[in-house]
Structure 1
Amino acid sequence: MPPRKTAATASTEPPRRSSRIVSQPKEEAKAAPKAAPKAAKKRPAAAETEDAAAPEAAAKKAKSGKSDAEEDAPEDESDGKLAKIDIGDVLPSVTLKNEKDEDVDVAGLAAEKGVVFFLVPKADTPGCTTQACAFRDIYPDFTSVNYDVYCLSADKPAAQTKWQTKKELPYALISDPKRVLITALGAGEGGKTKRSHFIFEKGGKLLERKMPVKAADSASLALEFIKGL
């Protein structure tokens, strides 16, 4: 039998460690230093420009009186074009120049009288001169039945004035360089003007069109039609 350990002997022995692991309380996480506030991202220059332009755009829109939908709507691609003019249709309102380089509202030409438009391919060329002089020679016969005569071509006013003076043409000449009215009348295909004439009654309704027509016959045929009304 082993001798009993005395109290002194027991006190010199190291204390026995428990095999059971005691979970130690985790050390409280040290408070992380607060992150410095992020600097505001610099806005792109384009955005700043848009913001600067916004008040100005709003002012312009308010001045125009247009809604957002109207402002954003695409432009009408048909601007500068006229619908085709058929028998029975009314002469459209379009502004062209006369030989004096003055603005002329075409629809207004037929407000008080009937009108005859005769179309020529090019001023001061042989065939066109024949046609123009034929209308010149019987011009009083048209005015006597309350009809005015106009020569319509794609020539510039300066060229028309020169031709008018040279041949003593008593009627006005209408310049349609973009062939807006000429094309609407059906005489402007292929970038050229077809020799023809068109008769509109007072008020602007189209009564007669002759296309093609011979240069020497255009004036007499137009007058014959009017007298037959």
Structure 2
Amino acid sequence: MGLQIGDKIPHFKAKDSNGNDFDSNNLIGIKPLVIYFYPKDNTPGCTAQACGFRDQYVDFTDLGAEVIGISSDTVDSHLGFSNRYKLPFILLSDSTKKIRKLFGVPSGLLGMLPGRVTYVTDKNGIVILIFDNSLLATKHISKALTAIKKIVS
């Protein structure tokens, strides 16, 4: 069983799209987080989702939140994806699927693809929203933004 609402997200480390070390402890306790797991760079649904987060990124940051996208793609793939679509937020490479397992993200599409799940946490890392929907990729953005607005107002 994966994370539930009210759980604290686990500590994790990964490489970002520039090959830099990312440590979740550098953000937990400081700002609310939107952590979204997606199947694959440069696929139609994942691109639409990433561009949706890009287009509303300022709305998230104006509320003090940070957006983090995670997939099992390589650092190089993330760099190309990020540059191609001018993504302003953090993309993390989870090539071993260790972070996905820590969160308990289920597989999507009859177990054939990695799942698409968005977690929203308050600034202390407590999960306030879990949106698990592989088919409605762009719906994740509005759900996450609504959740962030509720905790900062």
Shift of 1:145: 0.8
Say whether residues 1:96 and 2:17 are aligned partners. Answer: no
SS at match of 2:27: helix
Counterpart secondary structure, 1:128? helix
Identity %: 31
* C-alpha distance 141-114 of structure 1, shift in aligned 2 (>3 A): same
Q: Name stretches of at least 5 consecutive residues in structure 2 with no aligned partner.
A: none
Task: Report what 2:52 is aligned to.
Answer: 134
Shift of 1:188: 4.3
Q: How much does 1:154 deviate?
A: 0.7
TM superposition score normalised by structure 1: 0.60
Structure 1: how far apart are the matches of 2:147 and 2:29? 20
Tell me the residue number matched to 2:150. Answer: 228
User: What residue number does 1:18 align with?
Assistant: none
Query: How far 1:186 sits from its partner (Å)?
Result: 2.4
- Residue of 146, 164, 169 corresponding to 2:87: 169
Which residue of 1 is the match for residue 103 of structure 2?
A: 185
Following TM superposition, the consecutive aligned residue runs of length 4 or more in structure 1 with deviations greater than 6 angstroms are none
Q: Equivalents in 2 of 1:87, 1:164: separation in Å?
A: 30
Contact 2:32–2:148 at 8 Å: present in 1 too? no
Higher strand share: 2
Corresponding position of 2:126:
205
* Residue identity matched to 2:10: P
Report the AA paired with residue 131 of structure 2: K
Contact 1:107/1:204 (CA < 8 Å) preserved in 2? no
Q: What is the one-letter code of the residue matched to 2:58?
A: P
- Gaps of at least 5 residues in structure 1 are 1-82
Paired residue for 1:148? Answer: 66
* Alpha-carbon spacing, 1:162–1:183, altered in 2? closer, same or farther (3 Å): same
Q: Which residue of 2 aligns with 1:218?
A: 140
- What is the DSSP-based 3-state SS (H/G/I as helix, E as strand, rest coil) of the residue aligned with 2:101? helix
Contact 2:39–2:113, Cα closer than 8 Å, also in 1: yes
Q: Matched residues in 2 for 1:154 and 1:188: separation?
A: 14
Give the secondary-structure state (helix, strand or coil) at the position aligned to 1:228. helix
Provide the C-alpha distance between the structure 2 equivalents of 1:136 and 1:111, rounded to a whole number of angstroms: 24
Deviations along 1:89-136, one digit per CA (max 9) or x if unpaired, are 212222211111122112332231111011110001111000000000
Which residue is equivalent to 2:39? 121
Give the direction of change, closer, same or farther, for the CA distance of 1:191–1:177 in structure 2 (3 Å limit).
Answer: farther
Q: Does the aligned pair in 2 maintain the 1:120–1:196 contact within 8 Å?
A: yes
- Aligned partners of 1:131 and 1:219 also within 8 Å: yes
CA RMSD of aligned residues (A): 1.7
Note if contact 1:86-1:185 (Cα within 8 Å) is conserved in structure 2.
no
Larger RCO (alpha carbons 8 Å, 6+ apart): 2
Higher gyration radius (CA)? 1
Contact 1:93 1:108 in 2 (8 A): no
